[in-house]
């Protein structure tokens, strides 16, 4: 295997105007910064082609072409077959709600939905759909990997398979939890799910993957994963605030009903797009792939994400190394998620401080806020169900402390974060 290209972090940082301030953005799982090239496209669209789509006059034709280029670029990121399988929405939550509405006619009383407790975007719509149609919700819960740390949670396929029955209809899980930060082996799990479902006589199991916390760090591949639905947010992949949803063509043809105006002849994923998306933001997303391809000489997405992974592994190794030092463990610091750094451990790191001298998460973050210059966050991060499952329990409203880094962060920034934590954890 060839050595990944070394990321030119100075070049990377030069592409993001917000980074010139020197502020350390360490809440990237909540939303990354945006490249100058994406900003330029938004400004260009609004300045020169800000008209309604579909008309015959020249500016509308140009505008339509620009907006139509968005699904094609998203298709490449998903590695989907056809841009007709892609729909844009204001957020991943909105996209998944629309998908659930589109599937409503195919859901019967007693159908079972297996979901995880992570980001509610890929859980809430299925819970509400089950409630509307008389379905049954089952939870695939995370469980500890380290007996010395009850917060060292991860999803285990052997705990999923017993939940599958002949009535299983939807299996929905994350490629990466925005709380736990470890990469879930989607292809392996989906293969096991389909084999178990076939053995138990389930007729139409569809798999839905939340890639919101995964897409900024690793390459998506909906074909290799053999999944039916996938969603991610471009505003976490260095682009504007908008989301893309993949729906596999057979599902569009056989399972999804149109939720658009009754007089429109909707086909493909357009069935799930009631009203137009933000046109300028769709066009702004077309800057994402050119930026990513500029990061390696190969101008190849696989090479780019390999380089990103190598750099981010260095970041998370340093941060996890500090948080798991014996003195931090004695102080009561517990990493939420897998503690060991690796290529499958993303630099989204959550922790709590428990024991004889516990610390409230908001008080830890308050020190950073008062010091200034660094942005981290506390909370449940919309993984409310997972937060409730933490044991010993934490207040789910207060949740965890989360430091979420991406490839434009530096080791020097990690050291700054660690130096503040060292002063707090005395």
What phi-psi label fits residue 134: left (phi over 0), alpha (psi between -120 and 50 degrees) or beta?
left
Claim to verify: residue 133 and residue 239 sit in the same structural domain: yes
How far is the C-alpha of 109 from the C-alpha of 17, rounded, in Å? Answer: 52
Q: Tens digits of per-residue pLDDT, 209-248?
A: 999 999 999 999 999 999 999 999 999 999 999 999 999 9
Beta carbons of 395 and 192 less than 8 angstroms apart:
no
Taking the C-alpha atoms of residue 381 and residue 390, their distance in angstroms, rounded to an integer, is 14
Of 237, 267, 290, which residue constitutes the final position of a domain? 290
Q: How far apart are CA 303 and CA 285, in angstroms?
A: 20
284-304 mean pLDDT:
97
The kind and range of the H/E element at 196 are: helix 186-200
Looking at the structure of the chain, the number of domains it has is: 2
User: 323 and 418 share a domain?
Assistant: yes
Answer for the pair 255, 237: CB distance below 8 angstroms, yes or no.
no
pLDDT over 60 at 62, yes or no: yes
Interior CA angle at 187 toward 182 and 192, to 5°? 105
Domain assignment of residue 410, yes or no: yes
Domain interval for residue 419:
9-33+298-424
Q: 260 with 366, same domain?
A: no
Half-sphere exposure of 207 (CA within 13 A, CB side): 22
Q: For residue 391, name the pLDDT band (cuts at 50, 70, 90).
A: confident
pLDDT in tens, 298-348: 999 999 999 999 999 999 999 999 999 999 999 999 999 999 999 999 999
Domain-located, residue 2: no
Percent of the chain with pLDDT over 90: 94
Q: Is position 38 within any domain?
A: no
Residues 73 and 24 placed together within one structural domain of the fold = no
- 228 shares a domain with 109: yes
Report pTM.
0.97
DSSP letter for 226, please. T
Report pLDDT for 2.
61
For residue 268, tell me if it sits in a domain. Answer: yes
Residues 66 and 206 reside in one and the same domain: yes
- Closest among 255, 233, 253, 237 to 245, alpha carbons compared: 233
State whether 220 and 250 are in the same domain: yes
Q: Which of 264, 290, 316 is the last residue of a domain?
A: 290
CATH number, domain at 20? 3.90.1150.10
DSSP three-state, residue 147: coil
CA-CA distance, 81 to 269, in Å (whole number)?
Answer: 13
CA distance 121 to 181: 17
Residue 357 included in any domain: yes
Q: Does 3 fall in a domain?
A: no
Does 58 share its domain with 200? yes
Average pLDDT over residues 356-367: 97
- pLDDT bucket at 276, cuts 50 / 70 / 90: confident
153 with 62, same domain: the answer is yes
**Domain boundary, last residue among 260, 290, 320:** 290
Same domain as 248, residue 114: yes
């Amino acid at each position: 295997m060839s050595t990944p290209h070394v990321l030119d972090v100075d070049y990377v940082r030069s592409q993001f105007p917000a980074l010139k301030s020197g502020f350390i953005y360490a809440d990237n799982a909540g939303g990354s910064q945006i490249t100058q090239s994406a900003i330029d496209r938004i400004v260009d669209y609004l300045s020169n082609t800000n008209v309604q789509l579909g008309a015959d006059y020249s500016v509308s034709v140009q505008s339509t072409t620009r907006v139509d280029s968005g699904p094609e670029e998203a298709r490449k990121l998903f590695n989907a077959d056809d841009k007709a399988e892609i729909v844009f929405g204001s957020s991943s939550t909105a996209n998944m709600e629309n998908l659930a509405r589109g599937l409503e006619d195919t859901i019967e009383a007693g159908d079972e939905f297996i979901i995880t407790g992570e980001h509610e975007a890929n859980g809430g719509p299925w819970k509400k759909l089950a409630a509307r149609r008389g379905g049954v919700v089952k939870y695939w819960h995370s469980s500890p990997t380290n007996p010395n740390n009850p917060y060292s949670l991860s999803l285990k396929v052997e705990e999923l398979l017993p939940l599958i029955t002949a009535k299983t209809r939807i299996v929905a899980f994350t490629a990466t939890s925005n709380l736990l930060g470890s990469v879930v082996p989607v292809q392996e799990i989906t293969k096991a799910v389909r084999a178990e479902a076939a053995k138990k006589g389930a007729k139409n199991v569809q798999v839905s993957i939340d890639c919101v916390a995964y897409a900024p760090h690793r390459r998506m591949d909906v074909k290799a994963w053999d999944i039916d639905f996938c969603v991610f947010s471009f505003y976490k992949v260095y682009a504007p605030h908008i989301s893309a949803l993949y729906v596999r063509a057979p599902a569009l043809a056989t399972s999804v009903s149109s939720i658009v105006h009754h007089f429109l002849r909707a086909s493909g994923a357009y069935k799930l797009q009631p009203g137009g998306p933000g046109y300028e933001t769709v066009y702004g997303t077309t800057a994402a792939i050119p930026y990513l391809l500029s990061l390696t000489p190969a101008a190849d997405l696989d090479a780019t994400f390999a380089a990103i992974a190598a750099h981010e592994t260095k970041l998370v190794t340093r941060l996890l190394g500090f948080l798991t030092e014996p003195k931090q463990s004695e102080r009561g610091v517990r990493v939420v998620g897998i503690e060991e750094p690796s290529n499958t451990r993303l630099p989204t790191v959550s922790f709590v401080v428990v024991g004889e001298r516990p610390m409230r998460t908001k008080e830890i973050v308050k020190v950073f806020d008062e010091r200034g210059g660094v942005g981290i966050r506390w909370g449940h991060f919309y993984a409310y169900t997972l937060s409730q499952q933490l044991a010993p329990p934490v207040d789910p409203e207060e949740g965890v402390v989360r430091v979420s880094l991406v490839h434009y962060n530096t080791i020097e920034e990690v050291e700054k974060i660690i130096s503040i934590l060292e002063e707090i954890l005395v």
